Chains A and B, each alone.
Chain A
Amino acid sequence: MPAGLPYFAWVDASETTFGAEHMRWDEAVFSFTLSQEEGDPASLTAVVRRPRNEAGGAIGLLGPGRKIWAWFALDCGPALIKFRGRLVGIPTSIFEELVTLEFVARPFDVVAQKEALADTLRVLPFYDEAVIDKERRDDPEVVLEGYTKIWFYDPVTHVLSVSDEITGEDGTVSFDGGSEDGKVLWDGLGLTLTSGPLSRVDINAEFTWTQQARGTVDLTDYLLSHWPDKQEGAIYSLNAADWPKHGTGLGDGWEVAESTAQDVLDFSTHSESKSGSLTFEEQDGGTSTTQWSSSSTRCRGPLTMGPHIVTNNTYSITFGGNPDGGSNASVSRSFSETFTGIGVQFIKATLVAGYSAERQCTERVSLTLLADVQPILTDPEDGEALRIDDIRSINLSEVIDGAPPIIDDPRRRSYIATERGNRSVEHLIALARAHLMKRARVVEIAFAPKLARMPEITLRKNAFLAEPRVGEAAGKIVGYSIALDGSDGRVNCEVRIGCTIGRGGVATATTGTPAYCSTDYVGFDYQRFVERTVLVDAFEDSSVGYQPPDASPNDDGIDFLSALRAEDVIEVGLVVEHGPEPEEGEVPPANGTDASSTSDDEMQNIFDAQNAWIQQTIIPQYETRAKFKLKSMTREFSTDYEIQVTDLKVPTGYDLEAE
């Protein structure tokens, strides 16, 4: 068949494989345009003679029972350009002799294919679910954010794939300008600068998690060693009842997990009574009798004796004869007093504090990626910079759909310094890299190859062009078209390539300086390296490297991954205060030793006054107020990390600086 002959066959949807039976002319094609732009399905615009039935009447192309799928092929000589598409709408110019049909090579199951393909693309560092809202994780459009790839719709198989925007996966079509087929037509050559290159991307991202931990810290030794008034391990001037009980709050996120307290001294009282008598019978028959009795209440604990009140102090002497004979004399005395003593209790106590940490931690990561590209502006300062600062993570300690939290262990003080955190850094770099790479495709060259080369052209390939007017250029094929103008019978071919204007090269990894010991002893997996630069392995072009950050959390130093000691959690040390000393010269109310002249009412008044004086003056000086502050378990912390990144090496697709 002669080159340039188009075939058109209406087919069923099930006829997905092109065969010789499709090389027919179901419609008389007057002219056509077959084209495909990067990221879009291929389309065909065909101008055909208006279809008619056998009787010569016009028929509707969208009538029931009519086929809407078509195979289109163009004989290019060595091979066919093929296209399978679906009629997408009502033909235009339907009442004219020539009608225009629009076809698109878009698969019916594009959504399912895209979702299936997206599943395979959700890999770090190109896709990081840590910075994607969980409601948007199923969105297939999101997955390409970190890639330099774009959807590719195969115009024949309708298989959806992705293709890199810088380097095509299916090889390079070479137009070397030397061979006959390697030459391009004089007409149709064009070079445009699509936009200025993006020279820099600044990224600010926040990674947030809730640092969660539960545990206990035994504060007993700390408290006892820092309590100023203690005797033999017993705390002064507290009762066991004063000691914090289980569940009592001890500060932000702290409460008593276990505690014991025991009074050391017993201030209960008991009574003692004694009495006795002694009688002497004298030789002359006289008698001398002495009787005594005493009673007292005693306190079992030590008291500091305070004022006392004499409640009774009486005596009597009688002397006289007996009317019945004999004589007698007697003397008696009664005395009673009340002492008020002050007993000060000691306690032996233990205290284990329990914590429940819910601390919001944020790591603010910033990086700047510079593209090593050729300037197209006389002043590089005029170049564009992109700032991306809306990147936020989900709560990295959150369990979503039963999966382990991204931070793995919510007790961590740092995320970004972990292996997983490094992947997030690489994702940020991937985002910046994708923007820079795409925008580095500044030069777009259009040229007109010979028809025979067109079957080689797909949007998954690169093209190399050597042409005297533009020199050499290499770039990704970003679009093509083949058009037949029915008025003159000419077939016009066009291929457009996007050429990056980088300076080429690769980034270099450096081992840095070991911060601990020789690398002969332990390597990267064990010790930190200063100014170590690693390449992002996922980028096969070795285009960029970065220095993995060391954990440097700006927090209060608590490491929940280790057993906590009291010293680790004390923020403000123990301070113990007692009440004010009574002023000098204060004398308690008392009645001395003379109770005889004191009435009962006066005695009660003295009692009341004395009790009031003790409660207001003496007791308060023993008040104990101990306080300390434990590090908050509800605080929030924020740490800034500035990631050092190498310049992005961009391939040289077109050398604007060539001499």
Chain B
Amino acid sequence: MRGFEVVVRPVVFPNIRPAPARSLPPQDDPDKGFAVIRGNGAKQVSVTNSWSSSASNSQREETQRRVDETRVYQENEDGSVNKSNYVDIEVANKMWMKGPPKDTAGFNGDDVVPTDPGRGYTGDDIVPKGKDGKANEVQIDYYTPVKEKKNIEIKKKNVIKKAKES
């Protein structure tokens, strides 16, 4: 009777199995797969340093003076005066000193404080101005005038002496 029916014995077909799993390439390269952290912490920094210094020095110069021409005799130990023995000297009581150009207010009679309070201003106190309009800084110094004594004789008072003359 075989032939009328499909044989239904269990038949295992080759294709009942799943397909082979995908095959990954073997990872046999030991140099691959590394985590690498690269960098350079060095930094070029430029710093600058600069300095400067200067020093200056200035001196005043005497332009004229006013002197008392005085003769001083020898005074003996007993207090007598020997008129034959003397020296003549010039005793300055006023000196004009001039310094380097300086911006000044100049003299106008209001804003200059007299250097010799109580004495008032004189024509000698006029401070001349230069061509550039700047006044030369002229300082006038006063000194206590010499006084006559038994061995001191003032020959001539208030004689003006230019610096070039002295």
Checking B41, B47, B57, B59 against A338 with a beta-carbon cut-off of 8 angstroms, the contacting residue is: B47
Chain B residues, Cβ within 8 Å of A393 = 18
Number of interface residues of A (CB under 8 A): 121
Q: Are A623 and B52 in contact (CB under 8 A)?
A: no
By secondary structure, the A interface counts as: strand
B117 at the interface (CB under 8 A from A): no
Per the bound structure, the CA–CA distance linking A625 and B8 in Å amounts to 70
Q: Are B12 and A142 in contact (CB under 8 A)?
A: yes
Chain B interface residue count: which class? 35 or more
B38 at the interface (CB under 8 A from A): yes
Chain B residues, Cβ within 8 Å of A35 = 1
Of A133, A285, A353, most buried by chain B (CB within 10 Å of CB) is A285
A8 at the interface (CB under 8 A from B): no
Per the bound structure, the CA–CA distance linking A271 and B95 in Å amounts to 52
Q: CB-defined interface of A358-396 with B at 8 Å, one 1/0 digit per residue?
A: 001010000000000000000000000000001111110
Chain A residues, Cβ within 8 Å of B144 = none
Min C-beta distance of A340 to chain B, whole Å: 6
Q: Are A286 and B18 in contact (CB under 8 A)?
A: no
A43 at the interface (CB under 8 A from B): yes
B105 at the interface (CB under 8 A from A): no
Chain A residues, Cβ within 8 Å of B57 = 286-289, 328-330
Per the bound structure, the CA–CA distance linking A362 and B21 in Å amounts to 9
Q: Are A132 and B33 in contact (CB under 8 A)?
A: no
B40 at the interface (CB under 8 A from A): yes
Min C-beta distance of B53 to chain A, whole Å: 4
Q: Are A392 and B54 in contact (CB under 8 A)?
A: no
Q: Of B70-78, B96-104, B119-127, which stretch is located at the interface?
A: B96-104
A624 at the interface (CB under 8 A from B): yes
A-B interface contact total, Cβ < 8 Å: 311
Min C-beta distance of B3 to chain A, whole Å: 10
B14 at the interface (CB under 8 A from A): yes
Chain B residues, Cβ within 8 Å of A312 = 50
Chain A residues, Cβ within 8 Å of B58 = 286-287, 322, 326-328
- Beyond A145-B10, A285-B99, whether A295 also contacts B50 by CB under 8 A is yes
Q: Are A284 and B40 in contact (CB under 8 A)?
A: no
Of B34, B41, B53, B58, most buried by chain A (CB within 10 Å of CB) is B41
- Beyond A43-B4, A362-B21, whether A291 also contacts B53 by CB under 8 A is yes
Per the bound structure, the CA–CA distance linking A37 and B58 in Å amounts to 143
Q: Are B17 and A236 in contact (CB under 8 A)?
A: no
Per the bound structure, the CA–CA distance linking A635 and B29 in Å amounts to 12
Chain B, 1-30, CB within 8 A of any chain A CB: 1-2, 4-5, 7-24, 26-27, 30
Min C-beta distance of A323 to chain B, whole Å: 10
Considering only CB atoms, which chain A residue lies closest to B42 in the complex? Answer: A622
Chain B residues, Cβ within 8 Å of A243 = 37, 39
A214 at the interface (CB under 8 A from B): no
Min C-beta distance of A236 to chain B, whole Å: 7
Per the bound structure, the CA–CA distance linking A392 and B19 in Å amounts to 8
Q: Are A325 and B99 in contact (CB under 8 A)?
A: yes
Chain B residues, Cβ within 8 Å of A143 = 10
Checking B5, B15, B22, B56 against A106 with a beta-carbon cut-off of 8 angstroms, the contacting residue is: B5
B113 at the interface (CB under 8 A from A): no
Min C-beta distance of A580 to chain B, whole Å: 13
B49 at the interface (CB under 8 A from A): yes
Q: Are A628 and B34 in contact (CB under 8 A)?
A: yes
Q: CB-defined interface of A203-241 with B at 8 Å, one 1/0 digit per residue?
A: 000101000000000000000000000000000111101
- Beyond A251-B34, A324-B136, whether A39 also contacts B99 by CB under 8 A is no
Checking A145, A298, A394, A628 against B47 with a beta-carbon cut-off of 8 angstroms, the contacting residue is: A298
B139 at the interface (CB under 8 A from A): yes
Min C-beta distance of A618 to chain B, whole Å: 7
Q: Are A330 and B56 in contact (CB under 8 A)?
A: yes
- Beyond A208-B21, A394-B18, whether A615 also contacts B44 by CB under 8 A is yes
Min C-beta distance of B15 to chain A, whole Å: 7
A604 at the interface (CB under 8 A from B): no
Chain B residues, Cβ within 8 Å of A322 = 58, 100-101
B36 at the interface (CB under 8 A from A): yes
Checking A208, A244, A250, A330 against B55 with a beta-carbon cut-off of 8 angstroms, the contacting residue is: A330
Of A287, A299, A391, most buried by chain B (CB within 10 Å of CB) is A287
Using a CB–CB distance below 8 Å, which chain A residues touch chain B?
33, 35, 37-41, 43, 45, 88-89, 102, 104, 106, 131-134, 136, 139, 141-145, 147, 150-151, 206, 208, 236-239, 241-244, 249-252, 254, 267, 269, 284-299, 303, 311-312, 322, 324-347, 353, 360, 362, 390-395, 571-572, 579, 611, 614-615, 618-630, 632, 634-636
Nearest 7 A/B pairs, CB to CB: A242-B39, A336-B50, A622-B42, A325-B98, A43-B1, A237-B41, A144-B10
- If A333-B52, A338-B47 are given as contacts, then 9 extra A-B residue pairs at C-beta distance below 8 Å, sorted by A number, are A43-B1, A237-B39, A243-B39, A244-B35, A291-B55, A292-B53, A328-B58, A328-B100, A632-B27
